Amino acid sequence: MESDESSLCGDSNSESNYLDEVPQTYMNPGQQNTDQRTDGGTVQETDQGKKLFSWRKKPFETPECTFKGQSVTPPDDLFTPLEYFRKSITPEMLDSLKEQTNLYSVQKSDHHNNINTTVKELEILIGIYLRMGLCQLPGNRAYWENDTRCPIVADNMSRNGFQTLLTTLHFTDNTDHSNRQVEDKCWKIRPWLDMFRKQCLDITPEEYNSVDKQIVSFRGTRSPIRQYVKGKPHPWGLKIWACCSSSGILCDFVVYEDGTGKKTVLGMGSDTEVKLCETLPSNQNYKVFADNFFSSAPLVLKLLERQIYFVGTLRSNRLAGCMLEDDKSLAKRGRGSVDARVEKGESMVIVKWYDNKSVTLISSYCATEPQGKADKAFVEVNRSHIVKEYNTFMGG
């Protein structure tokens, strides 16, 4: 989730299969008529003549967006690793996991044998998995073999006990049909997901937050929500839409379930952004950052209804009728050149900035000023304020 000038400039259509998520009113040229204004702006109209957005070339006046929310300060004394663990995985979650695991062991066994696992054993199991993530070996058995033995793993649980517990680990009762929701592909872990999300929502959000996708590495073949995302360090895995604070703390998340067939209002990306921002307090001037998968002009207006300000990169098919200088014109002016248009209601601005390539951004609280310098390859390049803000806070 890192962002810098070079990656920002290359931020384009990384998931082109989702281009049809935006309502055609905003992206289908056959249904729109974009006219040039005499004052350098543009007006976007539908076939019915209804004006949607009007853009003008003028300075963007920064709104009064001083943060009014609860300030987050580091604790006087740092928590121990176990205390941090308890804040995410509660005793209630472990008790539920113990009950469902023991229940499944009885249902699975021909002789109805109960493995009678305990909360302590489950905590050791989770700890072992965390340790395996830090000290990776070719397979689970390697942690107990003589040549590759890992004492912190092998001394706390036997290999057979580890394998047995893994095969019976369960989060919900399979025989209770009330748990099976046809549209919910995560129903087998839904109770734990809901409890874990509740712990995330208890965290006080910071002023600056970013929304992006996360990939949980997973190569198993039986998951109905497994995804392949080309170009990622771990392309096979489970996709999660996540809202993180600028310090990297997970505040909210939604598991992506492909093929749900649900209709969206603003498009899947923008609707996901709105959903993740619903847990941010209204009228407190929170700032949210996202990449071009989520960004759109209607999204900016939707968030402004709750006084949440937005900055994000923007795809060329979501300009909402805004006519900007082409890349050749900006290239002639040199690196650091910029062009901007302000919406008639002065609620947002679209900025096109040229470095090695051009990048387009949309914002409701910052634009080109104040200009700064971006040091790259020992060359000073003029950098618009909106680019600085995006690179600073995107990637939590």
Q: List pLDDT tens digits, range 338-389.
A: 999 999 888 999 999 988 889 999 999 998 888 776 665 567 788 888 888 8
Residue 8: band (very low, low, confident or very high) from pLDDT cuts 50, 70, 90:
low
Q: List pLDDT tens digits, range 242-291.
A: 999 988 899 999 999 876 556 677 888 899 999 999 999 999 999 999 99
Residue 75: band (very low, low, confident or very high) from pLDDT cuts 50, 70, 90:
confident
Q: Is pTM, for the whole model, over 0.75?
A: yes
Residue 43: band (very low, low, confident or very high) from pLDDT cuts 50, 70, 90:
very low
Segment among 91-95, 108-112, 116-120, 388-392 with least mean pLDDT: 108-112
How high is the pLDDT of residue 38? 37
How high is the pLDDT of residue 12? 41
How high is the pLDDT of residue 77? 83
In angstroms, the CA 363 to CA 131 distance is: 42
How high is the pLDDT of residue 391? 87
How high is the pLDDT of residue 382? 84
In angstroms, the CA 356 to CA 14 distance is: 18
> Does position 1 have pLDDT exceeding 80, yes or no?
no
